[in-house]
Structure 1
Amino acid sequence: MAANGTAEQEKNATMTRQTLYRRRRDTLVEWGENGKLVLVDCGAWRKFAIKPELLELLSLLDHPRSARDVHGAWASSSRPEDEVRRLLERLAEAGIVCRDAPEDDGPAPEADEAEARRDGAGEVPGPGGAPPGAGWTPYELAVHAQASRSGVPTRLRGTPPAARLLHPEALERIELPEDTAPPSRPLDRVLADRRSIRTYAPSPVPLPLLAALFARTARVRGYLPPLKYEQTQRAAPSGGARHSLELYLVAREVEGLAPGAYHYDPFGHALERLAPWSEELDDLQRRTLCVPMQEDQPPPAGLYLTSCAYRTGWKYQGMALSLIYRDTGCLMQTLSLAGTDIGLATCLTGRVESPMTPSFLRPYRDRLIHVGNMAIGLPAPISAAHRLVPLTADKEPERA
């Protein structure tokens, strides 16, 4: 009996020694509420109290290592190798580390059902069946997991943030004309015609068209009761009617408007001039528009979209960023469709700055975050290389 037990122990020791261990890619370390370190499993949104000694161990596991290798590298620990091996197995069972392929391709320890679903690297396949870590960072997973667990709106105490942002430092206020653009076309035609256009006619954008774009997409139609909650009605939907997004126009060539940076006031349908044209604005357009669009020629105008994040966070603490991104997508689509409808050429880009770089927004860096951009111009003739290739029922298009 004792001999059989010894043989079984030796077999298990051999199998375990062959196993490699690696820290899960989707784990982060943060400060807990008590000021102590907490390990966060971003994939399953679990939290573990963690001691500094264990943190040192996990730092050694950024690549697959055997228990013997870890024992030799763990300088601050006096644990014997067998104890290190048992600790690694406990961490693997808890899902904090992964078991990788054995060193000599021998049999790995038996896995439970969850482990059986893991890929060859020892981790559960990512969203959509993608390889673990493909296109995702632990931070993105953490934001997604947090948003999925904070779906109940909770109004915070105190006065809600104002729905209107004004710039008292503005150099000038320009009242915009009422919407004089052509009547809207049928929605199905606008949807069919919408596309991202990256090259523009060498002509300034008419100010009345820009005014119509703002009026049809972002202008405030009124307040929603109760008024004390600062909820407004606009064309694009927004979580809780919080409407945190603020539009800044970078005008290079707009007919009837001095080149420079402007803020759109959606309550008064007016532009607040914040800065004259400068090399800084030229560089801003090139970084946020030209580089993402892979174009050398900057557009006549562009939008720099920001969010007054606390407007959303006041009601949706814990999922504010997720809602802001969704609100941004809704507004971007609304802008793109309205631009198509009135004859503007537009292209949205996702290049985001953190922290924001424009000097005209320096006083607001603690209140605003940058969430996106849109190039605006008049459409140029489409070259053959950029024409749409229609789908056919009987033949796939040839691919170069």
Structure 2
Amino acid sequence: MNFLFAWRYFKAKKSTNAINVIAWVSIIAIMGITFAFIVVLSVFNGFEGLVKSLYSSFYPDLRIAAKSGKTIVLTPQQLQKLTAIKGVKAYSLIAEEKTLLINGDIQVPVTLKGVDTSYESVVGVAQKLIRGNFQTGNTEEPALVLGNGVENAVGIESDKYIYPLTVYAFKRGQNIEMADYSQSLAAANINTSGTFLIQQDIDNKYAITNLGFMKMMMGLGSNEYSSCELALHTGFDAEDVQREIQQQLGANYQVETKYEQNQSLYSVMNLEKWAIYGILTLMLIVAAFTMIGSLTMLVLEKQKDIQVLKSMGANNKMVQKIFLSEGLLLAGIGSVTGALLAILFCWAQVKYKLIAIQGGTFLIDYYPVQLVAKDFLLVLLTVSIVAFLASWFPSRRAALQPIELRS
């Protein structure tokens, strides 16, 4: 009944044309904000998904490291128990240290990561090569897979450079000799085999070699490692597996999920999304003032109707609901139209790449979009709340109109 009155008031001809104009302005404003809401959040989701997929190529589902210190001890018996845990697909043992990579007069600080033969089963670095092969060699003849930024800094092309680079690492457990610091360093020559391109922070920092060579450079024991990276079977919850591994290994080990390994990154992305939501909500609140103006003028227009309704027995609550319904109707028309236009635009962006990313330096050449159902629910809920609050005051004014009986 309330929406029936609201619909009739919306369609009915007004004595002042400005009431219709303002009503349509409020609808168009809400439509535009809803469209912007969904499109901007979808583009953000697209970039977020892209960044997460890139980081997923380098960071594992779970990572076991030391609670304190730089190394952990994992015996064959412990590793066997790890593989028996439900959900664990594969693991890779890691030895990692900050080193200095030298090519002639060029010196580049690099985090050198030694990996075993199972590494390709745990993460997808091997699928991100842009040059050469994913070959890490062995302890006697090590090979190096460079991040793209490291390769540029060293000034070579990994698959064409025939001369070995020199790598320096501090010897474990030795103090730095200021008189002759070379006595505190382990040095070796190493050839390059390939280059990976994942994400700038990773590409500028890491190079990958084999586990045996890296353990020799670091002076690690037979069962001593920097970390252990694990891949999980699809469908298993990482936090459930994390708790089981933590219980099995004890308090001296730290088991981290993919989120915890990059907590600052995910926190910043989440904060940015809520900041965007807050800005768009403020724009929606500003747009809602046109609705307040439209409903206020409608209340003035329908004073006689209100008198008639009250004389027929309508109470204040019913009158208020009618004008609240009018506000929600305006918001509903605007938000649904905006949502449908946003879906159409996002589909066109994915299919036809309407808006390109300028510069040509990014991994993709167009803005990615990803529609998420909960974003639609969030936007429609936000619009409904703002429309309800914007409609409250004019509808309350309508409800409090006194009954004036005239003879």
Same-fold status (TM-score > 0.5): no
- TM-score with structure 1 length normalisation? 0.22
- TM-score with structure 2 length normalisation? 0.21
Q: Which protein, 1 or 2, shows the higher relative CO under an 8 Å CA cutoff with sep ≥ 6?
A: 2
Larger Rg: 2
